[in-house]
């Protein structure tokens, strides 16, 4: 049973210390395990119009739920300023998340501001967005025009009854598929479609989803159900291992392994033997990929998390609103990354085997997936 009292944000997050020496960013930052800082995920809202049972279950996120007040959210100017400091440290990819990011008003304006940033070498950034697809049909073209490169769309089933049971707000599959097609028509590709697989909930949809997207321009990715946050009552028995997903698909549509596109890619790539395109398997539970994890996360209210499963963030907003200089904030970010040693998924078994889950983790709807 999900717990009713959950931690939306990390109220205790202290502002990071400003190092005495303000070293200029080199673009070559590495953490304590030698991992570079390459991706920044920016959550722009803690709200969502779905109530997916694994992310924002209705019994917790009900009408009395206290979302963050608008003044707590980082403004577009604050987000862009922080993002530019991360870019100077080596970040080349920005992903907008939520909640549902398309619920943030005038998001196109933020996309436009972020797309004007350049790496120290003068390269444009890869700007992507993860969405539930519900508003995509309406927004795809304006997002593309603003400078968005790609979208990733979450879709957990093709069967309407199953999908509606999962999103818990009666949203139809056809409307998400229309959003995906609109994004494709607008040029927001290659589009990835993410399916979180939960045993007994939607695992019967694995093969129909594979069949549907085989031969399409879209890359379907299967994600092992994860223990993010504290509200979804996660249980290891509800995880369908990626190997089982591959086995079920291969039985009907044989698969062959593919090389990773780049170091640190979260999805293992497989292609259909008959040339019908590729799928991805994200094995965050059974085959952790912490060793190449180059992702930082900025929460809706400006806290920096160095791991999806972190229990504490670092309050960059306090520095921004305290009049700190770019050099000071940049040095603080650099110092935080240099001591980062997170590798939660690699140590999950120990943490979830009994009563040892020491602290409550922040919710995925707050930190971004």
Which residues participate in the annotated binding site for GTP?
41, 95, 130, 192, 295-297
* Least distance (Å) between residue 306 CB and ligand SF4: 8
- Tell me if residue 345 falls in helix, strand or coil: helix
Q: Residue 133 or 280: which CB sits closer to ligand SF4?
A: 280
Q: Which residues are annotated as a binding site?
A: 41, 48, 52, 54-55, 95, 99, 130, 154, 192, 226, 290, 293, 295-297, 307
Asked whether 75 and 113 are in contact (CB, 8 A), the reply is no
* Least distance (Å) between residue 346 CB and ligand SF4: 7
Residues contributing to the site for ligand SF4 (CB under 6 A): 288-290, 293, 295, 307-309, 342-345
Q: Which residues are annotated as a binding site for S-adenosyl-L-methionine?
A: 54, 99, 154, 226
**348-358: buried (b, 16+ CB within 10 Å) or exposed (e) per residue?**
beeeeeeeeee
Residue whose token pair is 């994890």: 293
Reported as type and span, the H/E element at residue 221 is strand 219-224
Asked whether 197 and 222 are in contact (CB, 8 A), the reply is yes
Q: Residue 167 or 232: which CB sits closer to ligand SF4?
A: 232
Q: Residue 89 or 214: which CB sits closer to ligand SF4?
A: 89
* Least distance (Å) between residue 333 CB and ligand SF4: 17
Asked whether 197 and 224 are in contact (CB, 8 A), the reply is yes
Reported as type and span, the H/E element at residue 235 is none
Asked whether 17 and 24 are in contact (CB, 8 A), the reply is no
Q: Residue 32 or 185: which CB sits closer to ligand SF4?
A: 32
Concatenated DSSP letters for 352-369? HSSS---SPPPPHHHH--
Asked whether 9 and 303 are in contact (CB, 8 A), the reply is yes
* Least distance (Å) between residue 344 CB and ligand SF4: 4
Q: Pairing state of beta strands 150-154 and 126-131?
A: parallel
- Determine the Cα–Cα distance for residues 171 and 189; give it in Å rounded to an integer: 24
Asked whether 301 and 368 are in contact (CB, 8 A), the reply is no
Q: Residue 214 or 269: which CB sits closer to ligand SF4?
A: 269
* Least distance (Å) between residue 308 CB and ligand SF4: 4
Q: Residue 288 or 327: which CB sits closer to ligand SF4?
A: 288
* Least distance (Å) between residue 30 CB and ligand SF4: 14
Q: Residue 293 or 332: which CB sits closer to ligand SF4?
A: 293
* Least distance (Å) between residue 114 CB and ligand SF4: 22
Q: Residue 80 or 351: which CB sits closer to ligand SF4?
A: 351
- Tell me if residue 270 falls in helix, strand or coil: strand
Concatenated DSSP letters for 143-192? HHHHT--EEEEE---SSHHHHHHHHSS---HHHHHHHHHHHHHHT--S-E
Contacts of 11 (CB under 8 A, 6+ apart): none
* Least distance (Å) between residue 164 CB and ligand SF4: 30
């Amino acid at each position: 049973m999900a717990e009713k009292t959950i931690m939306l944000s990390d109220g205790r997050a202290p502002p990071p210390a400003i190092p005495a020496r303000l070293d200029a960013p080199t673009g070559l930052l590495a953490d304590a395990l030698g991992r570079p800082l390459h991706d920044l995920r920016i959550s722009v809202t803690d709200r969502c119009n779905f109530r997916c049972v694994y992310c924002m279950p209705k019994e917790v996120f009900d009408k009395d739920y206290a979302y963050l007040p608008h003044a707590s959210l980082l403004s577009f100017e604050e987000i862009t300023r922080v993002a530019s400091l991360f870019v100077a440290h080596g970040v080349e990819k920005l992903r907008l998340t939520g909640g549902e990011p398309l619920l943030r008003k005038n998001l196109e304006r933020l996309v436009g501001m972020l797309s004007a940033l350049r790496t120290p070498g003068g390269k444009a950034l890869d700007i992507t967005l993860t969405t539930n697809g519900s508003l995509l049909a309406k927004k795809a073209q304006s997002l593309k025009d603003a400078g968005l490169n790609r979208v990733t769309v979450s879709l957990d089933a093709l069967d309407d009854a199953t999908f509606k049971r999962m999103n818990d707000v009666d949203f139809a599959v056809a409307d998400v598929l229309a959003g995906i097609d609109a994004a494709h028509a607008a040029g927001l590709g290659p589009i990835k479609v993410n399916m979180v697989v939960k045993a007994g909930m939607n695992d019967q949809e694995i093969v129909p989803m594979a069949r549907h997207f085989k031969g399409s321009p879209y890359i379907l990715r299967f994600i092992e159900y994860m223990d993010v946050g504290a509200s979804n009552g996660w249980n290891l028995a509800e995880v369908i291992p990626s190997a089982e997903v591959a086995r079920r698909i291969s039985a009907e549509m044989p698969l062959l392994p593919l090389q990773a596109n780049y170091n640190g890619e979260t999805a293992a790539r497989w292609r259909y033997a008959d040339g019908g395109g590729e799928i991805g398997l994200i094995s965050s539970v059974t085959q952790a990929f912490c060793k190449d994890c180059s992702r930082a996360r900025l929460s809706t209210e400006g806290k920096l998390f160095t791991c999806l499963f972190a229990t504490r963030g670092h309050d960059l907003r306090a520095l921004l609103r305290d009049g700190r200089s770019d050099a000071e904030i940049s040095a603080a970010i650099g110092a935080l990354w240099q001591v980062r040693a997170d590798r939660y998924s690699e140590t999950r078994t120990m943490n979830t085997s009994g009563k040892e889950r020491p602290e409550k983790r922040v919710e995925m709807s707050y930190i971004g997936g």
